[in-house]
Amino acid sequence: MILFIKHIDIEGPGTIGDFLEDNKISSAIVDLSNKDNLPELKKTLQMVISLGGPMNVYEEEKYPFLADENVFLKEIIKRDIPFLGVCLGAQLMVKAIGGTVSKNPKKEIGFYKVSIDEEGLKDNVFRNFPGEITVYQWHGDTFSIPEGGKRIATSELCENQAVKYGRNIYGIQFHVEVTRNMIAEWAEAYEGELASLKGIVSDKQKMLEDYDNLKGEYLKQAERFYVNLFSAANLLKRKSYSLP
């Protein structure tokens, strides 16, 4: 079973959940914002995916569940259980390993280019990817590369876009899982943040237009990432992909 950790109701599994359902891979969701409890670690747990959220990793007083998740992730990492952290989830992963999370020089909201590092191009998770991809971003913080970790993707505005630790522990700063409905919902929920950055980042209309233009390739790119990720964790028989 794959466990999703949610931190807010509007940031769910998205296309990751769709992919697992299509491939008949069982999953469960723990919504920490809904006061769900993290489970005991059992042999039936095959992978953990920690999703995004608007909070900062150090806001444990305001969001006590972050402290519980920190303990949980430390144990996941210690046992080398396959893991994917998305945005906040990646930052929480790095913090649990011993790295740092800080403000990025600029906020990234909308679609941006990300470069796959040389290490990334050799890694299973970016197998058959081009050297540059377009991804969806919504973040103001960034993570360091912890001791023992490897950066596998970068960008002009945010140096550390993806990190690998151990055999199958990954963190990505961007949102591979996003759908059109999620973008629209986030733009409404975080309207104040968008208004404060007017003219600096994409607005709701621009992001939705960009999604519509990129949808076909973006969904193929997401599927390729999931095939690679879950194949590397021995949860899926790998499919063949050629470069676009």
The residue annotated as part of the active site, out of 87, 108, 139, 158, is 87
Please compute the mean of the pLDDT values over residues 11-28 and round it to a whole number: 96
Determine whether 177 is an active site residue.
yes
C-alpha–C-alpha distance, residues 203 and 217, integer Å:
22
C-alpha–C-alpha distance, residues 216 and 120, integer Å:
23
The residue annotated as part of the active site, out of 11, 69, 108, 177, is 177
Determine whether 87 is an active site residue.
yes
pLDDT of residue 244: 39
The closest alpha carbon to 78, from 98, 101, 97, belongs to: 97
The dihedrals phi and psi of 147, each to the nearest 5 degrees, come to -55, 130
The residue annotated as part of the active site, out of 7, 139, 158, 175, is 175
The residues spanned by each domain of the chain are 2-232
pLDDT of residue 239: 57
Determine whether 175 is an active site residue.
yes
The pTM assigned to this predicted structure is 0.95
Least confident of 11-15, 151-155, 195-199: 195-199
C-alpha–C-alpha distance, residues 43 and 41, integer Å:
7
**pLDDT tens-digit series, residues 30-73:** 999 999 999 988 778 999 999 999 999 999 999 999 999 999 99
Question: How confident is residue 241, by pLDDT bands cut at 50, 70 and 90?
Answer: very low
C-alpha–C-alpha distance, residues 28 and 205, integer Å:
33
Question: How confident is residue 238, by pLDDT bands cut at 50, 70 and 90?
Answer: low
Contact 222, 239 (CB under 8 A): no
Q: What is the DSSP string of 91-128?
A: HHHHHHHT--EEEEEEEEEEEEEEEEPHHHHHSGGGTT
Please compute the mean of the pLDDT values over residues 72-91 and round it to a whole number: 96
Fold of 2-232: Rossmann fold (3.40.50)
